[in-house]
A and B are shown apart, each in its own frame.
Chain A
Amino acid sequence: MATNDTGRAQLADSNQTSRPEGAFVLLLLQSIFWVVAGLSALPFGLGGELHMAALGLVTLMLALVTCLVGIGVLWRRQWARRVALTLEVICIIGSALQLLLPIGANRGPVALLVDVALPVAVVWLLWGKKTRSFFN
């Protein structure tokens, strides 16, 4: 196996970080999950559930916003970091309520990964003064 030196993947500048790129990947994933959720609600509109169809459209808009925020994070934009952190904190609170209240919500590993682990990971990646200093 031919290995290269530290050069290929090494960060040329030790002041750089790959946290925004990691957060971008997770935000892109979250955006795709919301696309699926939005699309899955739309057919119920055909059955007369107009509110559900409207929520599906709103969810698709949120997916678009999340994707754009992810791109903003990738470009080290401070506004994008703030929006992402706000969005993920809201997601965590909502997921916690849904999981803790006795309403029979699914508590399987997939729901925990998508609704809890993913937002927590994004917050962890973008939190802190040092990370903030990479954004402008």
Chain B
Amino acid sequence: MYNVNPEHAIGLIGGFVALILASVTLRLHPRWRAVPGTVRAAAVLMVVTAGVHLALIPHHLAHEPLTSLLFLLNGLAFIALAVSFTWRHWRLASAGLLIATVIGYLLYVGVGLEGSDQVGIATKLVEVTALGLALVPVRGEARRTHRSWRWAGLGVAMPLLIVMTGATVWIVDLARPDARHVHAGALLQSTNTVPTPAQVDAASRLYHETKTAIQPYEDWHQAWAAGYRPGGSTTLPSTHWMNQRYVDSGYVMDPHRPQGLVYANTHHGPVLLGAMFQMKGINQFGPDPGGPLTAWHQHENICITPFGFEFSLMTPFGNCALGAIDISVSPMLHVWIVDNPQGGPFAVDIAPSVVAALDRT
């Protein structure tokens, strides 16, 4: 949901071209100056969404003819409405079409006929904005028609459609992540599917070398003396301790100089869970000796707050909570030295049950 599907990129171009064309041609309408600016803006935005839908037809035509037909009808209907803004039932028709289009998209995404991407979400935002502009009553209108239902529509439909869009896109993204997104916000390195015997051996060597090298840090005082410091709150179940010198030096997967250590925060003090190797730059995945067993991962679109180094996930609308910043973290690889039944020694996460069990012992 945070990326543009390359096959949908043409939709962005279509929308941009439509924006220019609408801004120029709609001015030629004899009644253009006679209507409020909100109506004019809504008409332009409807042409934009028409442009997006029409541009997407060729891509869908071969495999999804019905979708292509719907895109065509949708695009033509939006254009027809955009040029008939003086029509008596313009607001009702526009609101109906805009709401139906957003709900149709959500149904498509919900049942898996379409993947949610930036083009789809951006288009829905344009449509909801057009809906608001079409409905909002304007001071000084010559005839004050249907103002109460327009206010009601504005106050109910806009928030509802935005929340429904965000919730649907988010739930579908979490429930049906693509193969490289193992959990929310973590993008896996691209590797072969089944590890070769050589890769299994290499992964095993890396595991044992790392486990031996970080053994002294089971005593957290030793880690502290070596320069590792907690990188976040120690009230959470586990904390990454980072060695800034090793981060800055850019050691690559050196078992003797891992950039981070992960400790469980138990009632009897920090308990070492494993090591974390980290690359210096975003999108620079490290060497992958174990193939799919040792795939690095990069956290993308996470919201981090400097207050206690806590994080949350960016919304589908590109927002973080106030005071949190949207960042991506350079690729990392964990080596868990405790048994991690849910994902093995190189998994993205340690199972919460493992941490809880350590706390109970």
> Which B residues from 184 to 214 make CB contacts under 8 A with A?
none
> Per-residue 0/1 for B85-104: is the Cβ within 8 Å of any A Cβ (1 yes, 0 no)?
11110000000000000000
Chain B contributes a number of interface residues (CB within 8 A of A) equal to: 73
Closest-CB distance, B320 to chain A (whole angstroms): 6
Interface residues of A in 19-76 (CB under 8 A from B): 19-22, 24-26, 28-29, 32-38, 40-41, 44, 47-52, 55-56, 58-59, 62, 76
A36 pairs with B163, CB closer than 8 A: yes
Among residues of B, the one whose C-beta sits closest to the C-beta of A31 is B159
Residues of chain A contacted by B310 (CB below 8 angstroms): 44, 49-52
Q: Which residues of chain B from 105 to 138 have a CB within 8 Å of any chain A CB?
A: 118-119, 121-122, 125-126, 128-129, 132-133, 136-138
Do A10 and B142 touch (CB < 8 A)? yes
Q: Interface size bucket, A side?
A: 35 or more
Cross-chain contact A110 with B305 (CB below 8 angstroms): no
Q: Cα distance A16–B322 when bound, in Å?
A: 36
Give B118 Cβ to nearest chain A Cβ, in Å: 4
Sample of 8 more A-B contacts, CB < 8 Å, known A37-B321, A55-B307: A9-B86, A25-B132, A29-B132, A41-B320, A51-B305, A58-B323, A109-B122, A114-B319
Q: Which 10 A-B pairs have the closest CB atoms?
A: A104-B328, A111-B318, A16-B140, A18-B36, A25-B132, A41-B321, A37-B319, A49-B310, A51-B307, A6-B34
Q: Which residues in B have some Cβ–Cβ distance to A below 8 Å?
A: 2-4, 12, 31, 34-39, 41, 84-88, 118-119, 121-122, 125-126, 128-129, 132-133, 136-143, 145, 154, 158-159, 162-163, 166, 233, 235-237, 282, 300-301, 303, 305, 307-308, 310-329
6 contacts between A and B (CB under 8 A): A3-B88, A26-B129, A36-B317, A36-B319, A40-B321, A58-B322
